[in-house]
Amino acid sequence: MSQPGRLAGRLVALGITGSIAAFKAVDLLRLLRAEGADVVVLMTPSATRFVAPLTLAALSRRPVDADVLDLLPDGRIGHVITADAADVVVVAPATAHWLGAMAHGLAADVVTATCLATSAPVVVGPAMDGDMYAHPATQANVRILREEFGYRIVEPETGGLASGQVGIGRLAALERIVDAAIDAIGERPIRKPDPADRPPRLADADDLARDADDLVGRHVVVTAGGTAEPIDPVRFIGNRSTGAMGIAVCEAARDRGARVTLIAGMVQAAIPAGVEVIHAETAAAMQAALATLVETPTGGAGFDALVMAAAVADFRPAAPADRKIARTDAGLTLELLPNPDLLAGLGRRVRGLDETGASTGTPILPRPVLVGFAAETGGLDRAAAKLGTKRVDLLVANDVTEAGSGFGTTTNRVTLFAADGRVDPLPLLPKRIVANRILDRVAGLLDARDAAAQTGATPTPGRTSS
Ligand code: CTP
């Protein structure tokens, strides 16, 4: 077992590639941390299929860099910052494919790109099937890395392999890899002691590992993704929403104990396990799905909170064709009709108001908490007004033109506008953490609602003590 503290103050870039041994990288990360290292994890796309980036982010307290084209949450180029700051790059497990890519400088993933861009020592722990390791191609690549690049190869060990064979190819004992990293650094000075020169830490790393139970017994409905308004059976009007923010809210609400129903539009992100799903690809279908949930036979709401993250199309073709429209040289003019504002409609319905704002005398009690989103371009000036017109308790506004905040990103910078006038600008954060911040408010509003109901006071979900 290695001595503690031998990597104190050092930044170790841990590159993980897609071998079955990738799960061992979790323990390797723990050992490096136990030696006092600050670790940033780099993954090839196939490595992310063996071990969840979220686990590695939570343990390293840093966002995982798994996409060579992705910028860091603060807009810098991740692999270049890591390459310049790391005291050592440790690639373990390294697959036969990765050894080949590295030997030939093919920087299609962040691990290879970081190795190419760095002047730090590189330690490589290959892991693969015995025949693959013995193959002349692999051996030639290992020789290039060792002899031409000066990389330290921590030779794999002999033993049982995932293939069922016994032979050489098993990832070296993790302590040997840690020792090799310490040895490779030697007496070199710490390259970038200033945290500002290193890849960013998670703004609130504890949020990722959080597993609160403050939504147990609550039913949270989330809409996510864009709607597709048909032009004909094969074409539609859509938008750039991927559904990632809504999916993050589903996962976070589920992990906090809620029953979660997802009303899914056109969603590109994977639908999480443990979530009930209603597919609703048009605004009309989404409206119908919401209607089935909003009113129970006893006049109550069938849910406690609605997080309306879907990008509902504001317009739909007036008369979708029932056959594919053929190409003509004359072009095509589409007539569009406005879709109803689903959220504004619900805001009125739960309060017992009609279209004119007059009371119908039938509010829904206890009143569910409503959360809306506002995707703005160029400032958030209109967000506060949307809070009022949609009669929501919380409006989550972001500027989709800002770096790291647009469609398909893993991060988001939002400002929370609450019905009680509180305005909370949040920093750029992973979407999962944004989801938790939104749910912190939802949980607080629901507790306040229930407390008010018990004391007989007017329920005021627009106010929260949090
Ligand atoms: N929304 C809705 N029904 C619509 C359009 C939007 O329920 N027909 C909801 C969205 O799900 C989101 C919120 O309203 O929670 C704000 O959407 P946004 O597109 O920003 O606002 P709009 O009201 O459409 O205003 P504008 O297009 O003028 O920005």
* Residue 336 Cα to ligand 1 middle (Å): 17
Instruction: Compute how many other C-beta atoms are within 10 angstroms of the C-beta atom of residue 446.
Output: 23
Give the C-alpha separation, 257 to 306, whole Å. Answer: 16
Answer whether residue 51 is part of any domain: yes
Answer whether residue 411 is part of any domain: yes
Using CA atoms of 48, 52, 54, 58 in order, give the dihedral in degrees to the nearest 10. Answer: -110
Pair (106, 215) in one structural domain: no
CB burial of residue 69 (10 Å; 0-12, 13-18, 19+): exposed
Closest protein CA for atom 3 of ligand 1: 341
Pair (319, 281) in one structural domain: yes
Average pLDDT over residues 261-274: 93
List, for residues 2-60, the tens digit of each pLDDT value: 445 899 999 999 999 999 999 999 999 999 999 989 999 999 999 999 998 888 988 88
Which of 150, 174, 201 terminates a domain? The answer is: 201
Answer whether residue 1 is part of any domain: no
Q: What separation in angstroms does the CA of 323 have from each of 230, 235, 315?
A: 11, 10, 21
List, for residues 296-329, the tens digit of each pLDDT value: 888 788 999 999 999 999 999 999 999 999 999 9
Average pLDDT over residues 270-282: 94
Residue 120 has pLDDT above 50, yes or no: yes
Residue 1 has pLDDT above 50, yes or no: no
* Residue 373 Cα to ligand 1 middle (Å): 7
The residue among 150 and 272 whose pLDDT is bigger is 150
Which of 201, 235, 270 terminates a domain? The answer is: 201
The pLDDT value recorded for residue 213 is: 83
Q: Is residue 386 within 8 Å of 395, Cβ to Cβ?
A: yes
Of 30-34, 61-65, 160-164, 423-427, minimum mean pLDDT range: 160-164
Pair (300, 329) in one structural domain: yes
Closest protein CA for atom 9 of ligand 1: 343
Residue 258 has pLDDT above 60, yes or no: yes
Closest protein CA for atom 18 of ligand 1: 374
* Ligand 1 nearest atom to the CA of residue 395, by list position: 15
* Ligand 1 nearest atom to the CA of residue 375, by list position: 20
Pair (285, 192) in one structural domain: no
The pLDDT value recorded for residue 381 is: 86
Answer whether residue 4 is part of any domain: no
Answer whether residue 460 is part of any domain: no
CATH of the domain at 73: 3.40.50.1950
Give the C-alpha separation, 318 to 283, whole Å. Answer: 13
Pair (221, 151) in one structural domain: no
Pair (195, 212) in one structural domain: no
Answer whether residue 165 is part of any domain: yes
Q: Is 372 in the pocket of ligand 1 (CB under 6 A)?
A: yes
Answer whether residue 2 is part of any domain: no
Helix axes 96-103, 110-117, angle to 10 degrees: 40
* Residue 312 Cα to ligand 1 middle (Å): 6
Which of 201, 231, 246 terminates a domain? The answer is: 201
Residue 294 has pLDDT above 90, yes or no: no
Q: Is 347 in the pocket of ligand 1 (CB under 6 A)?
A: no
CATH of the domain at 221: 3.40.50.10300
- Listing DSSP states for 338-405 in one string gives EPP-HHHHHHHHHHTB-TTS-B-S---SSPPEEEEEEEESS-STTHHHHHHHHT-SEEEEEETTSTTS
Strand boundaries in 225-271, DSSP class E: 229-230, 236-237, 259-264
pTM: 0.63
The pLDDT value recorded for residue 211 is: 54
Answer whether residue 5 is part of any domain: no
Pair (258, 276) in one structural domain: yes
Pair (216, 182) in one structural domain: no
- Which of 316, 341, 391, 393 is the best mutation target for the ligand 1 pocket, counting ligand atoms within 8 Å of the beta carbon and taking the most? 341
Pair (144, 35) in one structural domain: yes
Q: Report the mean per-residue pLDDT for the chain.
A: 90
Pair (182, 331) in one structural domain: no
Pair (271, 173) in one structural domain: no
**DSSP β-bridge partners for residue 338:** 315
Alpha-carbon torsion 18, 125, 113, 95, what sign?
Answer: negative
Nearest to 424 by CA among 370, 464, 368, 451: 464
- Greatest mean pLDDT among 14-18, 74-78, 458-462 lies in 14-18
Average pLDDT over residues 56-83: 84
Pair (177, 269) in one structural domain: no
The pLDDT value recorded for residue 179 is: 97
239 a catalytic residue: yes
Nearest to 194 by CA among 108, 351, 85: 85
Q: What share of the chain is helix, strand, coil (3-state, %, to 5)?
A: 35, 20, 45
Q: Is 310 in the pocket of ligand 1 (CB under 6 A)?
A: yes
Number of domains in the chain: 2
**DSSP β-bridge partners for residue 422:** none
List, for residues 421-438, the tens digit of each pLDDT value: 999 999 888 888 899 999
Helix, strand or coil, per DSSP, at residue 62: coil
Give the C-alpha separation, 336 to 317, whole Å. Answer: 4
The pLDDT value recorded for residue 219 is: 96
Q: Which domain holds residue 144?
A: 11-201
